[in-house]
Every structure is written in structure tokens, then in C-alpha cells.
Amino acid sequence: MANNKSKSVTFEKITKIFRDPQSKQDVTAVNEVSFRLEPGELVTLLGPSGCGKSTILRMLSGFEQPTSGKIFIGDNDVTFTPPNKRDTAMVFQSYGLFPHMDVFNNVAYGLRLRKVPENEIAEKVQRFLEMVGLGTMGKRPPSRLSGGQQQRVALARSLIVEPSVLLLDEPLSNLDALLREQMRVEIRRLQKSLGITAMYVTHDRVEAMSLSDRIIVMKSGNIIQVGTPSDIYRDPVDTFVSGFVGKVAFFPCEVKGIENNSCVVDIKGKIFTAPRYSDKLKVGDKALVMARPESLSIGEAGSGVEDGVVTANIYLGNSVETWVKTDLGNVLVQIDNPDVKKIWDEGEKVSLSFDPTLTKVLVDDLEKV
């Protein structure tokens, strides 16, 4: 439900090279990155710190200039447009509220720059403050607001100028867990109801999963995978992505056959058929079976693919997380509905098995990571 103002964003082979002031060496922060945001879409850039995701956001907002490549907002080439001439609005990690202005004037700032008549400003600011649930806070200085309220002011300040693209730079990282969940819902609701194109940067996979239409996973300046949250979770392209977007266990295996869009593997003599597999795999390759905690189960020692010892049980109400120490490392098993299932005691010898329909076979690139 994109409104008519929201625009697409296109990155064309964008490279950004920084010069490290200490070592005087060039560092490639972003390496020939291309992607496209459809109008009205919320796309998250997800990756560990230093992967170049913030640099991409800052290039889109205009605070950094790409070393090469082109950036388009809609059909306009904005590669060299200064930030104040771009139709983007950014919500900063540290909010960047003007401490010398009250909430009302913070939100009104962008409108004043656009020479909107003062009576219109008053009406519009009030409307947006109410939209973010701060209708009565107009006269307060930002320093007298809680973190979540400050975040809402920052959001209202960005949204009120009706930008073509909304940029959010880890906006929730300074909030506590509960507020973060609330704000996540809030941001998604506002973005959808205004139909605004948004780019969201985070290193928090839960945030990325719960907010995004699509996720772009990045690592050391390169895009590793682009896809919907469920694509990324269930069908990661490599061990890095699978590990970054959720807990995971890898079981070494050998590829026995690839047929009918599924992959037959051998783990310690047991044969499984996985519905998803990396297309780089050939018959005879050593590979890894990736299994999520919820697809793992625990049985008597010797019954599964890998034996181990239970080291901890963490009770979470709707599930129990059981840690099992194996030769492959510590593996997390999620047992849902724990009240009707068997929970193994700490120290018990157990064996792990998995539901092959939920797994994916990946190229064994763990050494390289």
C-alpha cells in the first residue's frame, strides 16, 4: 500500500573506500553493492558491526559519498546531492534531538525550514505528536523525556517532513528490552500506515526478523543474501548467514545424491533427505547439515546422530532450552511445550537427532569463517 510520495531506492555498484588515518591504508567499507528497495517497502540491513551497513545508510542520506557507483531515489540520481537537498529523513541511534528546543520545536524544525506557515505547523506537529502518543508533551525539553519518548520524538521529527525514504540507524539499541519490543511494533505500524519506503540498519536479528519485508545480510562490505525473513532463516546461503540470523547446529555429512530438488546425505552411516541444499554442492562433497534448535530433539544415548551430555536446562515458560555438550561443540535444543515433554536432567548422556524436513545442507566453509 505504497502512497504516491514514496519512492524506490536503487544502489548501483556502490563502492566506498575509506582511508584509515592511522595506518594510511585504504579500507573497503562497501564493495560493489547493488540492490533495490521497492516503494513502500521496509528493508533491513543486517550484519555484524563493521560490515558496512551504516556506511550504506550514510551514503543514502548523503553524509558520505560513494567512491564509485550511483544512487537513485526514484528516478533521480542523488549520488552527489548533499544531505540537506535529499528527500530522506533519518532516525539516529542516539536520536540527535536538539537539546535547546522543546519537543514541539524539535518536531517543527523540518517544517520551518520548508517555510510552512506557522498555523499549519502547529496543527501538523500536534497531529504527529498524537500519532506517536506524545500529544501532551510538546512543551517539554527532550532531556525530561524517557528514552522511548525521545525515540518517538525523533521518529515524529523525521516523519513529519514526509520524506520519500525513511532511514533508521539502529534506532532501538539504546532502549531496554521491553521498550524495544513496543517501539518495534510502533515503527512498523507507522511505516506501514504512511506507506513510506524505509531502510533499517541493525545488528539485532530479532529486530530484523520482526520488522522487515526483506532483509539484506552483509558481511565485510559485501551483500551475502537478500530475502524475506523466512527465506533467510530457513534457507540461508551459507553457514555465516545461518549462524547470524539464529541459533544453529551443524552436523558434518557427505553428499550421496542430489535428485528431485532434494539432497541425500550420509551422517555417520545414517541417510537423510534434506529438502533444501546449497546449489554449489556435488555428489561426494563433504558438507554440513544445518539444524535449528526447534528442529532438534533429544533421545536415549546412541539413538541419534550425535551423542553428548546435557549441561544446562533453561526454563522459559513456553519452552525449555537444553544445552548439550557434544564433540561438535555445545548445541542448543529447543523443547516446546515442556510440560508435556520429557526434560533430560543435567549430566545425563543423550543423543541428538533432527527433523530432516526443516534442515538445509550447506557447503562446509566453517574453516574460512
Partner 1 sequence: MNKRFINFLLTMLFVVLVGAWIYTSVRDEFLKQSRTAQRRTVETVAAGYPEPEDVDEWLKRLADEATEYKVALVSEIPMPGEKLNETPKGDSDLAKLTESSATDPEFSKGFDNAAYEEIYRASKNWTVGTKEEQAIFFAPAVSLKTHDIEGALVFAFNTDGEQGFMRMINTLFFGAFILFAVVIWQLMMSRDPIVGFALAGLFLMTLVFVAYPLFEALRLSFIENGKFSLSIWKTILNSEGYMSALWGSLKLGCWTATFSTLVGFLFAFVVARTNAPCKKLISTMGVLPVISPPFSLTLSIILLFGNNGLITRWLRVVGLNFSIYGLPGLVIVQTMGMFPIAFLTLSGVLQAIDSTYEEASLNLSASRFKTFSSITLPLAIPGLLSAWLLVFTTSLADFANPLLLAGDLRVLSLESYIEVTGMNRLGHGAALSILLLLPTLTAFLAQRFWVAKRSYVTVTGKPSGRITELTTPLVRRILTGIIFTIVFILILLYGTIFAGCFVKNWGIDYTFSLENITEAITRSKDALFDTVTLAAIATPIAGITAMIAALLIVRRKFHGKRLLEMLLMTPFALPGTLVGISYILAFNHAPIILVGTAAIIIINYVIRELPVGIEGGIASLRQIDPSIEEAATDLGADQATVFKTVVLPLVRPAFLSSLSYTFVRSMTAVSAVIFLISARWYHLTVLIYNFSENLRFGLASVLSTVLIIIVFGAFGIMRLLVRENANLTKSVN
Does 80 interact with partner 1 (rule: CB under 8 A)? yes
Shortest Cβ 159–partner 1 spacing (Å): 11
DSSP structural state of residue 3: -
Q: Where are the beta strands (DSSP E) in 158-196?
A: 165-169
Nearer to partner 1, 85 or 368 (CB): 85
Does 141 interact with partner 1 (rule: CB under 8 A)? yes
Does 139 interact with partner 1 (rule: CB under 8 A)? no
Report 284-303 residues binding partner 1 (CB under 8 A): none
Does 127 interact with partner 1 (rule: CB under 8 A)? no
Taking alpha carbons only, the member of 267, 199, 266, 261 closest to residue 235 is 261
DSSP structural state of residue 83: G
Count Cβ neighbours within 10 Å for each residue of 37-54 and write b for 16 or more, e otherwise: bebbbbbbbbbeeebbbb
Burial of 273 (0-12, 13-18, 19+ CB in 10 A): middle
Residue span 155-174 as binding mask against partner 1, x where in contact by CB under 8 A, dash where not: --xx--x-------------
Give the cell for residue 4: 504516491
Does 200 interact with partner 1 (rule: CB under 8 A)? no
Using the rule CB under 8 A, which residue among 36, 114, 189, 280 binds partner 1? Answer: 114
Using the rule CB under 8 A, which residue among 84, 119, 318, 337 binds partner 1? Answer: 84
Part of the chain binding partner 1 (CB under 8 A), chosen from 116-124, 140-148, 287-295, 305-313:
140-148
Residue pair 47/53 in contact (Cβ under 8 Å)? The answer is yes
d(CA 33, CA 264) in angstroms, rounded, equals 35
Residue pair 143/53 in contact (Cβ under 8 Å)? The answer is no
Using the rule CB under 8 A, which residue among 15, 28, 93, 210 binds partner 1? Answer: 93
Does 317 interact with partner 1 (rule: CB under 8 A)? no
Rg (CA), the chain: 24
**Count of other CB atoms within 10 angstroms of residue 9:** 25
Taking alpha carbons only, the member of 345, 335, 247 closest to residue 297 is 335
Does 146 interact with partner 1 (rule: CB under 8 A)? no
Q: How many CA atoms lie within 13 A of 16 on its CB side?
A: 29
Does 70 interact with partner 1 (rule: CB under 8 A)? no
Percentages (nearest 5) of helix, strand, coil residues in the chain: 25, 35, 35
Report 3-62 residues binding partner 1 (CB under 8 A): 61-62
Q: How many residues bind partner 1, per CB under 8 A?
A: 33
Part of the chain binding partner 1 (CB under 8 A), chosen from 34-42, 109-117, 196-204, 216-224:
109-117
Residue pair 168/19 in contact (Cβ under 8 Å)? The answer is no
Using the rule CB under 8 A, which residue among 65, 182, 193, 357 binds partner 1? Answer: 65
Nearer to partner 1, 171 or 229 (CB): 171
Part of the chain binding partner 1 (CB under 8 A), chosen from 110-118, 172-180, 300-308, 328-336:
110-118
Using the rule CB under 8 A, which residue among 88, 149, 197, 297 binds partner 1? Answer: 88
Part of the chain binding partner 1 (CB under 8 A), chosen from 83-91, 177-185, 188-196, 313-321:
83-91
Tell me the one-letter amino acid at 97. Answer: L
Task: Compute φ and ψ for 64, nearest 5 degrees.
Answer: -125, 150
Does 315 interact with partner 1 (rule: CB under 8 A)? no
Instruction: Point out which residues bind partner 1 (CB under 8 A).
Output: 61-63, 65, 80-85, 88-90, 92-100, 109-110, 113-114, 141-143, 154, 157-158, 161
